[in-house]
Amino acid sequence: MLDSFLSWFARNRLSIAVVVVFAALALLAYHIHISTDRFAQKYRDYAVLANVSDIGADVPGAQNNPVRMQINDALTQVLANKMTDAQRLALAQHGLELLTFSNKQIDAISPKLDAADASAKEMAASVDFVTSTFAKGLPQKIINEAKERSAAIKDIRAYSYRANADTIRIFEHIVDDKGALPNSYIAELNSSIPAEEQNFNDRQNRYYDLQNIGDEIKLDFADFAKRFSIKNTGE
């Protein structure tokens, strides 16, 4: 019986090897199909939340943000030295109210970012070595870019808080002085202009980074989807 089996195996070992190879390839193809579909779905979930997070980060510093426009206008007016102390006091107090609301807009960045970060972690957990290899590392590249996106938003949030804190100090100083604007304080503010401009430029640069990173992630996923004939929907 054993001799007969060994003889049959010897005669058919090439055919058996072919069957084994095809079975292994079929299992590999099935695994790649399942894992790429899983990653694609996790990416779509992430893309929706990341878009919400991007919009939330854009709100506090947006040029067309009514609150930001009113704050900038109030700051310009109180420093123009073309009003009475009473008028400047009232405007500074209003500016502080606006900044309270602006800080709430910045606060709103955090829960949106946390949701996107949590989704990014789920996306990362859906990737395995085999899929990443056959996808030429695109899943890991997207995951790394998601981390860069999160870092950009965290920087934007920090710069936004810093800008508001600086403006709050100006309004509070004017309120404490009951609307007075002495030349000595104007000179002090003038000396801080370079630092203020640097903070503004740093925040703008991170906004540019955020846009570029988001665009790069979309392109990378489009490439991933094309490689595996996956429908590119997600944003």
Q: For the purposes of burial, counting CB atoms within 10 Å of the CB of 158, is it exposed (0-12), middle (13-18) or buried (19 or more)?
A: middle
Give me the residue label for tokens 């030349």. Answer: 183
Question: Residue 189: what pLDDT?
Answer: 87
Question: Residue 227: what pLDDT?
Answer: 78
Per the structure block, which two tokens stand in for 226?
């094309």
Q: Model-level pTM?
A: 0.83
Q: For the purposes of burial, counting CB atoms within 10 Å of the CB of 83, is it exposed (0-12), middle (13-18) or buried (19 or more)?
A: middle
For 215, phi then psi, to 5°, come to: -65, -40
- CA separation for the pair 224, 220 (Å, rounded): 6
Locate the domains of the chain by residue range. Answer: 2-227
- CA separation for the pair 109, 87 (Å, rounded): 34
- CA separation for the pair 95, 201 (Å, rounded): 23
Per the structure block, which two tokens stand in for 149?
């996106």
Question: Residue 33: what pLDDT?
Answer: 57
Give me the residue label for tokens 């004939």. Answer: 229
Rg of the chain (C-alpha set): 29
- CA separation for the pair 174, 202 (Å, rounded): 27
Q: Decide: 210 and 153 in contact? Cβ < 8 Å.
A: yes
The CATH class of the 2-227 domain is mainly alpha
Alpha helices in the chain (DSSP H): 2-58, 66-78, 85-107, 109-125, 129-134, 138-176, 183-191, 193-227
132-133-134-138 Cα dihedral, nearest 10 degrees: 50
pLDDT along the chain (235 residues), means of 10: 51 49 47 73 95 95 91 92 90 97 97 98 86 79 97 97 95 95 88 86 95 96 81 53
Half-sphere exposure of residue 121, counting CA atoms within 13 Å on the CB side? 5
Q: Is the C-alpha dihedral spanning 173, 179, 183, 186 positive or negative?
A: positive
- CA separation for the pair 185, 99 (Å, rounded): 21
Question: Residue 72: what pLDDT?
Answer: 92
